[in-house]
Chains A and B, each alone.
Chain A
């Protein structure tokens, strides 16, 4: 076989496919205003800010994509080499050229009217603060980044690990800076923080390099060990798996109890936010993940929980103010939430799929509008809401709304409760009936399951868990307003569940930490406060990406992975020959006669 000089064999089709896409992505990111808004957050001070990261990563990724090869089994692929690097460079350069054009455009035309970010400010960021920078420099930057991306394909695997793990760590440490800063006081590690971070924020250059190389080194040493451990854990059976699970759970529990003592107000309140959404997500996970009821009005139960607490505990409740303690009012919260679950659930449950989603969406808004309405104003205060909700008096301890650590412990307790409930119900008669209904409702009914009751139970359990979150939130904030219960909350909770992994409890944890902790909730700031108005955009992008690339979520449940990758599992079992002894051919084209 003769090989052509591979250096000249450029895959122009790929270059002209990915290059313009890269340019479009860069233009989009710039015009949305990411570079401007994220510029204040510095990663490596003063060299690199998150604003520039939002631009730089694109040519890099596209260079990587354009130059990566499709490896087919049994077909020999030529070694990656110079032509791949060149592909990356060209792709990146085309992308960078997009920004060059943008800079020229901003200099010469003014279309700020529809495009708010078509501004001198953007130009300044793109020109790195220099006044008379030649805009063509972006072609070079793009090319260089594309080269780096392509190089990731060419360099050996271990080196790639070092680079990617190293840079991700630096990014993560920089993002977690406020949290680390806050925690350092408790651990008496201020000196370390001072050593690696600049005063105004951002890592210092040398610590960043040392950190990156350290993590890179560790990643090479521990290569594959984590995966192996996870696989080992998954393959464990029966009592052994149980034991490992208990140990893992124990470690998490101890960390959860001990760590807050060392954490400051900032981290505790951040975690309390995460916890409230986690609690909601765990509840929704039962409804959506286990029973398969797509409830888009979940915020309704959150609202009922909060308002019930407000009415029963606040002295300022307009109509009925018994002024109970929080703990006592919780009894009524549970009862009323369960009732609301039944009332909303009863008509909704007879519907299926999309219709159900739409109707629940409606109910979610109806509850909010009821609290807002003039009609119920004498009871719930209308738009003014109910103020003066006292702190949480548990009898042996009093937690005021501003005591972030106390609130966090409380949230932690309820999250643990929610995990316990999901875990126990999953392996019970009711949990199995939920699964069956999710799989095939008609057959479930024909197999003797009372689907209406089972689905109502899912609604009620979900409602009660959400109402706990509402009760905590009311006491924490000290007031409730109808507008704290926008439809957006339902959607954000659903996104948490989907991104984390539907039906998977660890998945929901990860989802809540990533989305609420880092990006922030609908109104709660996360670690990346700079995201602010861009939050929903990032949510959306994340959701689209997840649906395309990893529909089972970040930490999927085994069942869900199986469900979404049936073909692969069938192929695996066929390759292993587990069904071979039967020697049966599947028959296709069986037609229903119903």
Chain B
């Protein structure tokens, strides 16, 4: 069986710096895989490369068996890969509902003429977009619905912005979802809530998820498999227990013990 996402020997170079080198990676349908690693390990670059924001210098990325290299970011999204951003990047002056509606762009098709002549198909599609948007937002409980639907996104609290970003990614109707530090900056109770939601994203919505996270409690709770990156190279992979006791991983995070230096 082929993997949902398969990355072969991926190489990304910025100037003389190897952000990623020789990275092999795969995700199967229905998995939740965590990517961890110290700052600057190349995790976000990894996401940017998959979603087409960064062009790799070598290697190949296969999604559902086909290469996505050279595709525009929007084409990759319409193939079924959605992402969130580490430094929340919503459309701040659009309303919450509009943020989710606009993300359905690649799943809808009405053009100028439909809008100008208000065709039946146009009205039907608009209604569907709206309903799906509200349905997705209600996944987060009462936090993003009700009077908030028509509020501008910048008025949301920090945690709600993160939730809305996930909602926006859900609205593109992906098969694979890339979450870049989804709980960064949240307090413990919010973190716990979101951890549970990530589990439900898979069980209820059927998304396959790759997640970058620094919070080890989250990583431990959600992931089937953990991949550790350091300096653009995968240094370990396996279940959380295996990885957390791996000497290479400990070294990458904490540094080399003094006695083993020379």
* Interface, chain A (partner B; CB < 8 A): 420-421, 424-425, 427-433, 435-436, 439-440, 442-451, 457, 461, 559, 562-563, 566, 569-570, 573, 578-579, 582, 584-587, 590-594
Contact pick for B102, options A427, A435, A461, CB 8 Å: A435
13 sampled A-B residue pairs with Cβ under 8 A:
A425-B116, A428-B114, A429-B108, A435-B93, A444-B91, A445-B72, A446-B77, A569-B154, A579-B157, A582-B159, A584-B158, A584-B186, A594-B86
Chain B interface residue bracket vs A: 35 or more
Q: How far is the CA of A446 from the CA of B54 in the complex (A)?
A: 12
Closest Cβ of chain A to B114, distance in Å, is 7
Closest Cβ of chain B to A286, distance in Å, is 11
Contact pick for A585, options B51, B125, B158, CB 8 Å: B158
Contact with A along B86-114 (1 / 0, CB 8 A): 11111111100010011101111011101
Cβ–Cβ < 8 Å partners of A457 in chain B: 112
Closest Cβ of chain B to A537, distance in Å, is 34
B87 and A562: CB pair below 8 A? no
A447 and B102: CB pair below 8 A? yes
* Interface, chain B (partner A; CB < 8 A): 39-40, 43-45, 48, 51-53, 72-74, 77-78, 82-83, 85-94, 98, 101-103, 105-108, 110-112, 114-116, 118, 122, 125-126, 129, 143, 147, 151-152, 154-160, 168, 172, 184-187, 190
A435 and B91: CB pair below 8 A? yes
Q: Is the interface of A mostly helix, strand, loop or mixed?
A: helix
Cβ–Cβ < 8 Å partners of B111 in chain A: 429-430
Closest Cβ of chain B to A210, distance in Å, is 48
Nearest CB in chain A to that of B125: its residue: A429
Closest Cβ of chain A to B56, distance in Å, is 15
A593 and B155: CB pair below 8 A? no
Cβ–Cβ < 8 Å partners of B48 in chain A: 594
Q: How far is the CA of A569 from the CA of B95 in the complex (A)?
A: 14
Q: How far is the CA of A420 from the CA of B112 in the complex (A)?
A: 12
Q: How far is the CA of A200 from the CA of B110 in the complex (A)?
A: 60
Q: How far is the CA of A243 from the CA of B110 in the complex (A)?
A: 27
Cβ–Cβ < 8 Å partners of A559 in chain B: 93, 152
Cβ–Cβ < 8 Å partners of B72 in chain A: 445, 450
Closest Cβ of chain B to A53, distance in Å, is 40
Closest Cβ of chain B to A242, distance in Å, is 14
B91 and A436: CB pair below 8 A? yes
Nearest CB in chain A to that of B45: its residue: A594
Q: How far is the CA of A259 from the CA of B155 in the complex (A)?
A: 44
A445 and B92: CB pair below 8 A? no
Closest Cβ of chain A to B178, distance in Å, is 10
Cβ–Cβ < 8 Å partners of A440 in chain B: 89, 91
Q: How far is the CA of A590 from the CA of B154 in the complex (A)?
A: 16
